[in-house]
A and B are shown apart, each in its own frame.
Chain A
Amino acid sequence: MTDPAHVQSIATEQTAAAPPVVDVRDLRVHFKVHRGLLGSQLVKAVDGVSFAIAAGETLGLAGESGSGKSTVARTLVRINRPTDGSVLLAGAETARLSGQDLRAYRRRMQMVYQDPYDSLDPKMTIKDAIGEGLSVRGVPRARRKSEVEELLARVNLPVALAGRYPGQLSGGQRQRVSIARALAVSPEVIICDEAVAALDVSIRAQVLNLLKDIQADAGVSYLFISHDLSTLRFMADRIAIMYVGRLVEYGAAEQVFSQPAHPYTQALMAAVPDIANLGGPRPAPLPGEPPNPASPPPGCAFHPRCPLAVDLCRTVAPPLVRKATGQLAACHVVPDAPEVTP
């Protein structure tokens, strides 16, 4: 969906506030999947996604399975290569980097992973794990010990844990070590890919508070990926909702949460079992399931499940434009802002 108009509308959203640290434009990540002996299928995991993150800001990325949100994360840190589109880091194009330039880019964008148990090498001590990050930054060995201690203190872990192995730490502690390791290279952006989903509920709050503190302290930007809208509401300044590889809604978090424009966003919010809403009337759940990204429905991918679907939705994919409520949404039915369709 190479619609310059919608990319432009996102850009203007941003420059108003502050020049973005991360500026992703029309990112596409397509995978070829081999089926059987002969055929191969093109899976458009990410199909024309644009967003921007300002310095010190958190962009929340929400979606269910098949939405492509994890692919976006992995493409930004170049575990996957983008098929098309551009990724600008502080204004410089980075989507096609390789070799030494890629290494330098990698230092600026780090990631904290979902699985606290597998993201640390079980045979490396904590101080070696964090030290690895320091070595990338070129910190000489003599200074590493003190810097490791500083980083551990920053994530509220006792220095005594430095000599231990990950197997001796709890999930929450391991996640903090991952955060410390990411901080060791002094990145500008940290991507949190479901960073608290695997932690106990009572531990999540600790880690979320910590992330906020670090952001206030170091001015790091976050791309916070989660399927849990409540967590996103707490963490994000702006939010983007993805459905089968495309953005369906994008705007200021408070705006989106208080007045969701896209029917999918509304359904997502209605589906979250909230304890603040006990005993209230429960709307009928959204029918159907998130479609397989290998064969998405034509037109608007959401139309088979959408209560507002009309004929146009089945044939034409809606562009992401500003809606009457202020945020961007991709829907034919929801009324546009006056300047879009006069």
Chain B
Amino acid sequence: MTAPPEGSFLSGQLPAAAEEPAAAAELAAAYEEPGLGRRALTSLRRDPVALISVLAVVVLALVAVFAPLLAPHNPLQAYPNGLSADGAPIAPGSQFLLGTDPNGRDVLSRLIYGAQVSLLVGVVATSLASIIGVLVGGIAGYAGGIVDSVLMRITDVVLSFPILLFCIALIAITGPSTRNVMLVIAFGYWTYLARIVRGLVLSLKEREFVIAARTLGIGHSAILRRHILPHLVPAIIVYSTLGVATSILIEASLSYLGIGVPLPQASWGQMISQGQQYFQSAPWLLIAPGVALIVTVLAFNLAGDWLTDLLDPETTGARR
């Protein structure tokens, strides 16, 4: 065999710094992964169901935000021409696109404002629940020991109540109002996220990069902020999305029972409750809010599922 050329790796010298960057850069380019945005768009293109649900969520949000601009009439106003000659609600027609309710109020406008209420309650309640859940679960998981035990027992107690009954009980204490509905849902829903966050934090705590950070001498609050929290974000997003769906449903249930959003403010739950009584004579009173509720909750749930699939692989992050 011929002798290896001078300066080659076979004679044991370290490759010149110039060689390494070339090899490394070429390899670095090969590992380029598409960003989150691009992956999201690709996956939406492939999955029509997910695409429709995400669009529905977006549309709903827009409707809720721009309610005053979109609603053709004032939802709280009882229009004199809203009722027929013998005082019955008017069927859908040119003036009241979805008809009127027994008080002469425009159903469409109430539906649109109802969307606003639903979304408002959903988002606020879920955000509050997320904050409480992350705090409780994070502290329990990270601190461990007796703190963990105490916090988890409290969580278990709340979890043992079916959430709707829990909310009904709390509302009975606080009295019905939109604000109380939000608070009450938050106090019922935080437990689910607390459980999940605790589990995540427990396993994150043992990951080698967290141990490496402790070895570096990084303090606990910095570790929680820099290393633990970013890894919780995907789970938080997913559960918040599903949480909005649940919150909307609970709010609708409470309003249906008459202990949620008080009249005369419009809420899909109340509208359903009212529509039930008039189902024979004025079916549009039940169908409109019913369909709205189903579509909304379904859209949020499916969008949440899609988000899970999208964000979950990113949680681990490692490529082998």
Contact = CB atoms under 8 A, between A and B. Distances in A.
Given a CB threshold of 8 Å, the question of whether A touches B is answered with yes
Interface of A: 77-79, 103-104, 106-107, 110-111, 113, 115, 117-124, 132-133, 136, 153, 156-158, 160-161, 164-170, 173, 178, 181, 185, 209, 213
B46 interface: no
B216 A173 contact: no
A167 B316 CA distance: 10
B69 interface: no
A104 B31 CA distance: 38
Contact of A168 (B14, B33, B227): B33
Given A110-B216, A158-B24, A167-B318, A79 B226 contact: no
A196 B216 CA distance: 20
A157 B208 contact: no
A119 B209 contact: yes
B116 to A, nearest CB: 36
Task: Find the residue from A119, A120, A121 having the highest chain B CB count within 10 A.
Answer: A121
Contacts of A170: 27, 31
B20 interface: yes
B20 A136 contact: no
Given A132-B216, A133-B216, A121 B227 contact: yes
24 contacts: A79-B215, A107-B217, A111-B215, A115-B208, A117-B320, A118-B207, A119-B209, A121-B213, A133-B216, A153-B17, A157-B24, A158-B20, A158-B24, A158-B25, A160-B21, A165-B317, A167-B33, A167-B318, A168-B31, A168-B319, A169-B28, A173-B24, A185-B216, A209-B14
A113 B208 contact: yes
Contacts of A119: 208-209, 212
Given A78-B215, A132-B216, 10 more contacts: A79-B214, A110-B215, A118-B208, A119-B212, A123-B317, A132-B213, A156-B20, A160-B28, A167-B33, A169-B28
B209 A106 contact: no
A280 B5 CA distance: 32
Interface in B15-50: 17, 20-21, 24-25, 27-28, 31-33
B73 interface: no
Contacts of B145: none
Interface in B176-219: 207-219
A136 B213 CA distance: 10
Contacts of B14: 156, 209, 213
Interface in B276-320: 316-320
A22 to B, nearest CB: 15
B203 to A, nearest CB: 12
A259 to B, nearest CB: 27
B231 A123 contact: yes
A98 to B, nearest CB: 13
Given A153-B17, A158-B24, A160-B28, A120 B213 contact: no
B4 interface: no
Contacts of A166: 317-318
B233 to A, nearest CB: 9
B183 to A, nearest CB: 33
Interface string B219-255: 1000000110011000000000000000000000000
A178 B3 CA distance: 37
A158 B218 CA distance: 27
Contacts of B216: 106-107, 110, 132-133, 136, 181, 185
A185 B230 CA distance: 24
Contacts of B24: 157-158, 161, 173
A185 B28 contact: no
A166 B319 CA distance: 8
Interface string B41-80: 0000000000000000000000000000000000000000
Contacts of B32: 168
B211 A79 contact: yes
Contact of A161 (B28, B214, B317, B318): B28
Q: Which 7 A-B pairs have the closest CB atoms?
A: A122-B317, A158-B21, A106-B217, A118-B208, A168-B31, A121-B209, A167-B319
A178 B218 CA distance: 16
A76 to B, nearest CB: 10
B125 to A, nearest CB: 28
